[in-house]
Structure 1
Amino acid sequence: MKRLVAVSLAVSFAFSAFSAAAENCVFSCPIGLNGQTITRSIYTLNNNPQTKFANWVAYHVTPETIDGPSRSRNWKADPELSEESTLEPNDYKGAWRSIGTDRGHQVPLASFSNSPDWRELNYLSNITPQDSDLNQGPWVKLENAVRSFVRTGQDVYVVSGPLYEWFFASLPDADEIHNIPSGYFKVIVTEINGLIEASAFIMQQSAARSDNYCTTQVTIDEVEARTGLNIMPVLSGETEVHVESTIGGLALQLGCS
């Protein structure tokens, strides 16, 4: 009887994790890079034990998840990852002073400030050292634009992640080998009555705070070519060709002409 109960609980947990992943990802979660996938109620991520950062994060922003109270930033190592696979809070000491980086959320805290599970966004698996000018400039402006669009009543799916195309810096006090991204991508997708629209952006760590995020638009095809990911693996046929080869499908909705 105990074995049957244990099996039933395991099946129930697996089903719940699958359901949550399906809710966080649009047209299935990205594939193409090795790592440990972790699914939580408000995001799914794939952690890379070599770089110590997520290969990608996927999340679903709705009118119900945003516009909560201001939330604190209490950094913690991810409890589901081994010590060898992620960084700890002390690894970030001196980062801003030495290399000019913030602790940048890949899944933004403000997009889930109204969620009871918002604290899980402060796990360091969801954080990378992001240049302050990028983090507080075009990157956050794009995230704000996403939330402004969601306030119109439309929910969106987002996939974000890093690029490693040139050496940026190393954390001065980290005691583990790691690889800081040289840039980041963000893919934003909506589906309304079967109509799929998407926009993709790539921003570099060398971005200026005054940069316009609209000028960083690329195709999803380019994101996939530069990352090795298949962003929406179950999207296929003519729909895939159109959506992933088009620049600016959601340009107007995100404040770009």
Structure 2
Amino acid sequence: MLRVRQWLFAASFFVCGASLASTACPNFFVNGSNPSIDASLTTRTTEVCHTEYVLLASGVTKGPLYSAQHITAAQVAGADSISRTGSFHQETAIPAADRSQTSDYTNSGFDRGHMTPAGDESTIDSEKESFSMANIVPQDHKLNTGEWAKIEAKVRDLATNLGEVYVVTGPAFDPDNTPTIGKDQVAVPQYTWKAVYEPGKGAAAYLCQNDDSITCDVVSLNDIKTLSGVDPFPALSSSDHANPISLPLP
């Protein structure tokens, strides 16, 4: 946790000002309010509404700034009843110059890491939509197949037990050193995070270092906003932002 806190302190000097654009799919957001993002991140962004999730694609990072869901118990039950059948594909709803391709990841040393996971999707068609390359970031293999997959399963368990949860997932980049992969120069995040709102209870976020150290923790929404430039749930109170609820770690 020390490394995370040190980086949050440094990142606070880079994140200032926020922008809240309108959304074409408010059903995925708490009170219909989509995440607010730092003004410095708004260049070449495109919202894409899919059947069971929405993403904000960045033509600068060539991936999502966030991917959001309203997961219900019924959706999880549907997801449990289907098999994984999707294949990675370009996102045709964004400009061609802003897209990444699956070939960008070939021999890169990184997995194609879902932000909205295929395992959350309740139909074959919606599962296929989750394989959009605009929903993908370069993710460490050990993290992607280990702790991150376990966190995704924990969130599905929460949705089942509570009836519903709102989830926003995204990357956070080191402003001083952002490596890229592939000919499309896909930005590699230093962290990936998953914010969870339990209606009537509060919110918190999982934060994982994007390396093989398998270092994940539960942090506040304010921490995520400072680190990534994204406020996942702007409709929530300042108290909800500052005081993380307990989330189950793997």
Q: Does the C-alpha gap of structure 1 residues 233 and 93 become closer, same or farther in structure 2, counting only changes over 3 Å?
A: same
| Residue matched to 1:179 | 187
Q: Distance in 2 between matches of 1:54 and 1:221?
A: 20
**Alignment CA distance shift 1:149-1:102 (3 Å):** same
1:220–1:244 Cα contact (<8 Å) kept: yes
Number of equivalences: 218
Aligned counterpart, 2:180: 170
CA distance in 1, matches of 2:149, 2:177: 23
Q: 2:62 aligns with which of 44, 49, 52?
A: 52
Q: How does 1:82-93 map to 2 (within 5 A)?
A: 82-93=95-106
- Match for 2:87 among 53, 61, 74? 74
What is the root-mean-square deviation in Å for CA atoms of aligned residues? 2.0
Name the CA shift for 1:47/1:133 in 2 (closer, same or farther; >3 Å): same
Contact 2:179–2:188 at 8 Å: present in 1 too? yes
Match of 1:246 among 222, 229, 243: 243
Match of 1:126 among 114, 125, 135: 135
* Superimposed CA distance per residue, residues 90-140 of structure 1 (whole angstroms, 9 cap, x where no aligned partner): 222223xxx2x2111100110114464221100100011110111112111
Report what 1:110 is aligned to: 119
1:11 aligns with none
Q: Which residue of 1 aligns with 2:27?
A: 23
Residue 189 of structure 1 aligns with an amino acid whose one-letter code is Y
Counterpart check, 1:198 vs 2:203? yes
| Cα distance in 1 for residues equivalent to 2:249 and 2:206 | 13
Q: How does 1:197-216 map to 2 (within 5 A)?
A: 197-209=202-214, 213=216, 216=217
Secondary structure of 1:117 counterpart: helix
**Deviation per CA, 1:57-110, whole angstroms, max 9, x where unpaired?**
111111222213221231100010122101112222223xxx2x2111100110
Which protein has the bigger strand share?
2
Q: Output the TM-score relative to the length of structure 2.
A: 0.80
TM-score, normalisation: structure 1: 0.78
For residues 129-168 of structure 1, what are the structure 2 equivalents within 5 Å? 129-165=138-174, 167=177
Larger Rg: 1
In structure 2, list runs of 5 or more residues that go unmatched.
1-22
